[in-house]
Amino acid sequence: MVWLRYPLTPHASAPGKGRRAKGDGAKGNGAKGNGAMPGLVPCGPGRTRPAWQWGLMRSVYTQILTLTRERSTKRNLVVLARFFMFLVGMIAFYSVLFHVIMGWEGQEHSWVSGLYWTLTTMSTLGYGDITFHSDLGRVFSILVILSGTLFLLVLLPFTFIQFFYAPWIEAQAAARTPRSLPKDLAGHVLLTRYDAVADSMIRRLKRFDIPYTVLTPDIEEAQRLSDRDVHIMVGELDDPETYSRAGVSRAAMVVATRSDAENTMIAFTVGEVSKSTPVVATAEDPASARILESAGATTVVSFTQVMGQALARCITGSDAVTHVVGEFDELLIAEANAGGTPLVGKTLRENRLSDLDVSVIGVWDRGDFQHATPDTIVGQNTVLLLVGSAAQLQNYDEHFAIYNVSTEPVLILGGGRIGRATAVALTERGVQWRMVELRPERVFDAERTIVGNAAEPDVLEQAGIERAPTVIITTHDDNVNLYLTLLCRKLRPNMEIICRSTLERHVPALHHAGADFVQSHASIASGALLTMIRGSRVVTVAEGLDVFRVKVSQTLSGKTLGGSGIREHTGCTVVAYRTASQSLINPPADTKLESGNELVLVGTWESRDKFTARFGQG
């Protein structure tokens, strides 16, 4: 089993950027190149039709085709036709019988009047303008009313809905929930579950132009996701035909994030169709790892372990040395707490950290990240984001290791799976910890666990919050996490607070509540998966902050690093320059850029998009 650490090193290669195979399907809109005006689709010699009308006609055609293709639909139409024939025959019979009885009573009416009386009587409208005078006529009227009530008011709506309307609605849903993918689609990612992790991953895949599809056996879920513009395909996850129709042999990866038993079946089923497509499976129980690998999973990931390591690596409050948070080949990205050091109160220019051969690319201040400038002032709560080689970071540690040293244990609130994984990660790093857990059955180290409610100040004081340098909040409920963050910040205004967030949308609220670092479970998990899909070209070092590698484009070729305007125009920071023979970490401003070489950049998603728009992909 491969227990992935965060940040990740690549464990699986992928075809890279999503693409379509060569062919007619890759040529784009058929209107282009045919002399048609924008928004018009040619539909014959000298004739055009608005694109929206063409799309509507094609949608209706698809629904009709889906409706008539089903064998049950044909049977329903036959039943519906027989019912209407019987109903028409009954109306005709009553119309004829109306004339017979009216003639017997000595009244004369036209055939239209007979049909009119039959319909108004069967529908119980009964205008009363045409009536019988004999008891025989009144008995006949009662018969017509009762049969009309039964057939027109009861059986007709039921039959129409059961045998036509409901199948039509199902056909509409089927048209929006495909059961196969285009044969020219390649390099796509197949997801087997839609949840918070999948939602975060889909947004990342879209940014890298990687196609994806969510496989689901539930057509109602498929309809709901389709309404949210999520690319879906309906199919049973244990059926090899599903993966054949999804083009698994051309896919970049299959991601199985269901239960351990379901993931085992998915990995085994995919292996029956394609042996070459990587399958990444999640494992809730460590004992399931070997079973998943035996079933055919290429990589087994424990999101619990990844999240625990991500929370543990955020700790900076117990010392002032560097803590590596990301690795990009020989390039290391690290965080260091500046509080309690001589750096506080000075600008980066005054601190002259460049003399130590390290580069400060950004600073954190209570969860707010800012790109570093020479005039950036280092505060008591500032955490520096540093870039350098192992030797350069070691040089930094030698100067600041004596500051801000604390031997007090880190406080962990919550002893669930994430809390226990965080404790294990801290133990591996040699950091002392103490845990607060409400449920006694979750206690796995009684000597270092306080059983009680972390929402009570007395329990936190018993756990040592007055002396703890850092508190890590790990519960799965974001509402509880927000409450505990506010409580801990009130009890200890200057302590470091690291918080877990289940949903990405709650990250800003937790920062505003006072958390110094917030790790989103969905973001961490999706970032781990994306790293495997993209190989070593992207590494996420913090929430919304990535390190990525790009080729030097023709636009940048021949310019110096200082004259390229990368930082000024995009917000990205160049941290390394790679040639065929060497790798320059923190390259100087006079470094000349040449086409084909690589730049290693640090930036947000938005700054990466700005870089691509201005300088191209390279």
- String of DSSP letters for 60-76: HHHHHHHHHHSHHHHHH
* Position 29 pLDDT exceeds 50: no
Convert the pLDDT of each residue in 206-217 to its tens digit: 888 899 999 999
Percent of the chain scored above 70 by pLDDT?
85
Q: For 2-6, 136-140, 324-328, 438-442, which range has the lowest pLDDT when averaged over its residues? A: 2-6
pLDDT of residue 429: 80
* Position 51 pLDDT exceeds 50: no
- DSSP code of 133? -
**Same domain assignment for residues 188 and 293:** yes
**Same domain assignment for residues 222 and 274:** yes
Rounded to an integer, the average pLDDT of 545-552 is: 84
Q: How much is the mean pLDDT over the chain?
A: 82
Predicted model pTM: 0.66
Element at 393 (helix H, strand E):
helix 390-400
Convert the pLDDT of each residue in 337-390 to its tens digit: 887 888 989 998 898 888 888 888 888 877 677 878 888 999 887 888 888 888
* Position 491 pLDDT exceeds 60: yes
Pairing of strands 19-20, 185-186: antiparallel
Domain range spanning residue 258? 180-301
Convert the pLDDT of each residue in 178-200 to its tens digit: 889 999 999 999 999 999 999 99
Domain ends where: 271, 301, 331?
A: 301
Q: How far is CA 61 from CA 25, 172, 351, 373, in A?
A: 20, 10, 70, 60
Q: Is the residue at 284 inside a domain? A: yes
Sequence-distant (6+) residues with CB within 8 A of 311 are 418, 422, 425, 472, 474, 498, 500, 519
Residue located via tokens 């390190």: 547
Q: Is the residue at 153 inside a domain? A: yes
* Position 32 pLDDT exceeds 70: no
**Residue 181 CB coordination number (10 Å):** 20
**Same domain assignment for residues 109 and 139:** yes
Q: Is the residue at 38 inside a domain? A: no
**Same domain assignment for residues 163 and 205:** no
User: Exposed (0-12), middle (13-18) or buried (19+): which is 491, by Cβ within 10 Å?
Assistant: middle
* Position 289 pLDDT exceeds 80: yes
**Same domain assignment for residues 167 and 189:** no
**Same domain assignment for residues 354 and 374:** yes
What's the domain count of the chain?
4
Q: Which sign, positive or negative, has the C-alpha torsion 415, 304, 315, 367?
A: negative
Q: Is the residue at 602 inside a domain? A: yes
Q: For 43-47, 381-385, 440-444, 513-517, which range has the lowest pLDDT when averaged over its residues? A: 43-47
* Tokens coding 514: 């006072």
Domain ends where: 382, 400, 418?
A: 400
**Residue 398 CB coordination number (10 Å):** 11
Domain ends where: 126, 150, 175?
A: 175
Q: Which sign, positive or negative, has the C-alpha torsion 130, 133, 138, 139?
A: negative
Convert the pLDDT of each residue in 292-323 to its tens digit: 999 999 999 988 988 998 898 788 766 788 88
Closest CA to 342 of 360, 320, 361, 369: 320
**Same domain assignment for residues 285 and 351:** no
Q: Is the residue at 306 inside a domain? A: no
pLDDT of residue 593: 92
Q: Tell me if residue 178 falls in helix, strand or coil.
A: coil
User: Exposed (0-12), middle (13-18) or buried (19+): which is 119, by Cβ within 10 Å?
Assistant: middle
